A and B are shown apart, each in its own frame.
Chain A
Amino acid sequence: MNVLKVPARTIAVFVLPCLLLYTCMVFVPILVSVYCGLLDWNGISGAKFVGLANFERIFTADPVFWPSVKRTMMFAVFSMLEIPFCLLLAILLNRYVRKANTLVTMYFLPVILSVVIIGQLWKTIYNPASMGGMLNGILMSVGLESWTRSWLTEPQIAMYALYFVSLWQYFGYHLLIQFTGVQNIPNELYEAAKMDGAEGFKADRYITLPLIVPIFKISMVLAFIGSLQSFDLIWVMTGGGPAHATDTVSTYMYNMSFLSMKYGYGSALASFLVIICLSFTIVINFVFKRIENKVS
């Protein structure tokens, strides 16, 4: 780091404003939230310190919590599984499509739309046929009546319907990231590889993959954290219902803090979410460090 010949104090001056802001806006609220998690508090009056009682109840006696953790985790897994497909498509686009930028922009379009609009749009698509739902309408017109469902209100499938919308929306986002990553790999490398007889997927294995790993990692982390925090889409489409069947940790937290007015309990859930986010980010980083070492 000797390239930067700047005294430590100068660095401090530059870092300080941002650090202060970060501390005040992010770090302190997290600590406050952890503290609130130790209270029996309705958010308005008379907080009572109850120690770890909230956490104990969350982990042992709450019938909604573990299923919502499971749904949150499934959400994360599905989002991360999507990224290899994005990468594959990015490679194919880069190789076979001239002017691929237009296509990528089109894929990216849903990302710009507000989640509320996406939610309303898909709600209408998923509607029962009697209310003009498009999906069911199409199924019926091709003779698949038995496949029609009330997609958002059957507890067993409602969550999958939500996963799908989210995957659809963020596909373009991750595609763009991967596409940019692939484009940034210098062409000379491929030309040189061609001389050595490596073309097509062989070149991908030895050139594209090793060089794309850091970009791939960014997508993975973003997808993971994004799905842990998934809230808006679910809130618009099902509100966590029917009867908690589509609750994730964050919608459940909102439900507890603001609807049930158990602010302390909600804060305890929030603390749990922070811990999960932190620890999984560390795990993902660790895993990718090993992968990076292996493929390169």
Chain B
Amino acid sequence: MGRTKMKAFAILVASALALTLTACNNGQSASPGNSGSKGGDVASKEVTITFQNINPDPSTPSYKMIQQIVSQYEQNHSNVKIELDSLNTDQQKLKLKTQAAAKEVPDITIVNPAAQMKPFVDAGLLAPLNDVADKDGLKDTFQDGLLDYYSFDDKLYAFPDGNNIEVVFYNKELFTQAGIQKLPTTFDELITAVKALKAKGITPIAIGEKDSWTGSLLFMNILLRTNEGPNFLKDVLDGKKTFKDPAFVEAVDAFQELVQAGAFPDGATSIDYNAGGNIFKTGKAAMYIMGTWETGSIDASSVAGKVGVFQFPTVNGKGDVNEYVIAPGSAFAVSANSEHLQETKDFLHYFITEMPKIQFDLKNAIGSGQKMKGNLKEAGYSELAINLNELFKNVKGGDLAFDNTMNPAIAQAHLSSIQNLFVQKEDSAQVAKEHQSAFEANK
């Protein structure tokens, strides 16, 4: 290649580089330029709000709810554009962590209560929302105490989309087939029911334990009973108890009894959460121990109308059936570094105000975090939903899931330890010891 050609080439490369550089510059300077004109008419300012959410499935009521509120808002506020970033739960968790590391949290995002959102709060990534909560009494539409799970140092950082309890859904037909006349109210009766179902070749309890939180949630029910009340994990955190406590060991033993009785589907640890739920929803399993957020999708499945619900039984005579493992939803939080903080807060206020009404109309109000107005029966809700609503009225309190209470490192150790119980029998004292050492290494 001759010298001149070489030079021509070099120039070409250089100019190409220069072009890309200026292109980048243009892109970046665009936004500050826009906000520079802030002094003008505020109302007409064009604003785009990014709204990250975990409802990507168009067939679900929650998806429709978000779409509806967003389009309502956009109609009334022509200058505001809401950009939805709809992801699966796991994808969203991962994406948010990546964005948080780069300090680029979307204007509105989804966080989980208590221990799971604490790192984000500590890093100063979320904006306090007390002003939004106080405006027009929005705070008072929520059930008492629910917002506490999202508050740190008296500052509220997110609004939950629900407040669920964990119950035992059961398939009435399959129970009759196995000749179970009385719903289990004690753990021994539950084991007897499991054995009766197993003898008929019916999978007793559906679970998708590849997503290990499912087994942990069930385990927490047992622990809530053997501990004769809530706050076991809190006591561990406060140093008042350890995992070697008899209540914990007893819970592990009871859980293993369930596994040994053949309660769960074969190969449970390779089934993911959705597939696990489908075992129940297709009528192949008799029970499903899960949060009330599943109500809507059970009512939409092939077993609709055949499903009843009962409370998790007492274990060895201990515990109160009106105490539940509680899942105070996932929640909408606002980025502290949002470019349009005020507009985002205004939208969120509208969103949270509208949410209970729309959810009610979409028959998705069971497990709502906000107080419900209207009659379920008249609105055409299923018998299952109405029964659940009755259970909600007697909730005396309870515990959050393990991963909402302990930091992620301890939670992971716990999750894999429980997952292990599905595939091999372990000495319960050893399990307790593993938990304790994971706790001490990561607290």
Q: Which residues of A contact B (CB under 8 A)?
A: 6, 10, 13, 17, 42-46, 123, 126-131, 133, 150, 152-155, 237-239, 241-245, 255, 258-263
Contact = CB atoms under 8 A, between A and B. Distances in A.
Contact of A46 (B123, B265, B423): B123
A129 B209 CA distance: 18
6 contacts: A44-B97, A44-B100, A238-B269, A239-B210, A241-B270, A242-B419
B424 interface: yes
A164 to B, nearest CB: 15
B99 to A, nearest CB: 10
Nearest to A151: B267
Contact of A243 (B125, B268, B409, B423): B423
B269 A153 contact: yes
A245 B422 CA distance: 13
Closest 4 CB pairs of A and B: A45-B123, A243-B420, A128-B266, A261-B408
A42 B9 CA distance: 47
B123 A153 contact: no
Given A6-B1, A46-B122, A130 B408 contact: no
A112 B408 CA distance: 37
Query: Which residue among B10, B203, B266, B268 has the maximum number of chain A CB atoms within 10 Å of its CB?
Result: B266
Contact of B100 (A43, A260, A262): A43
Interface in B64-106: 94, 97, 100-101
B23 interface: no
Contacts of B409: 260-262
Interface in B388-443: 407-409, 411-413, 416-417, 419-420, 422-424
B268 A42 contact: no
A255 B416 CA distance: 11
B420 A237 contact: no
A55 B119 CA distance: 24
Given A152-B269, A238-B269, 7 more contacts: A42-B119, A128-B267, A131-B265, A239-B211, A241-B416, A258-B94, A260-B408
B18 to A, nearest CB: 14
B164 interface: no
A152 to B, nearest CB: 4
Contacts of B411: 260
B212 interface: yes
Interface string B348-390: 0000000000000000000000000000000000000000000
Nearest to A61: B441
B97 A261 contact: yes
Contacts of B97: 43-44, 258, 261
A33 to B, nearest CB: 13
A129 B201 CA distance: 13
A284 B207 CA distance: 46
Contact of B265 (A130, A238, A263): A130
Given A131-B266, A241-B210, A153 B408 contact: no
B417 A243 contact: yes
Nearest to A133: B267
B423 A155 contact: yes
Contacts of B119: 42, 44-45, 261
A166 B82 CA distance: 44
B251 to A, nearest CB: 18
Interface in B211-238: 211-212
B13 interface: yes
Interface in B7-66: 9-10, 13
A139 to B, nearest CB: 14
B267 A152 contact: yes
Nearest to B279: A131
Nearest to B420: A243
A263 B420 CA distance: 24
Contacts of A260: 408-409, 411-413
Contacts of B6: 10, 13
Contact of A154 (B122, B211, B407, B423): B423
Nearest to B266: A128
Nearest to A64: B416
Nearest to A244: B416
Interface string B116-131: 0001101111000000
A19 B56 CA distance: 41
A45 B416 contact: no
Contact of A44 (B1, B94, B125, B407): B125
A17 B13 CA distance: 9
Nearest to A152: B270
B420 A242 contact: yes
B177 to A, nearest CB: 17
Contacts of A152: 267, 269-270
B12 to A, nearest CB: 11
B89 to A, nearest CB: 13
Contact of A155 (B1, B101, B407, B424): B424
B256 to A, nearest CB: 14
Given A44-B125, A260-B409, A153 B120 contact: no
Contacts of A243: 416-417, 419-420, 423
Given A239-B210, A258-B94, A261-B408, A44 B120 contact: yes
A69 to B, nearest CB: 18
B259 to A, nearest CB: 12
B270 A43 contact: no
A243 B269 CA distance: 9
A129 B212 CA distance: 23
Contacts of A153: 267-270, 422-423
A260 B265 CA distance: 28
A155 B417 CA distance: 13
Contacts of B10: 13
A123 B408 CA distance: 28
Interface string B191-218: 0000000000001000001111000000
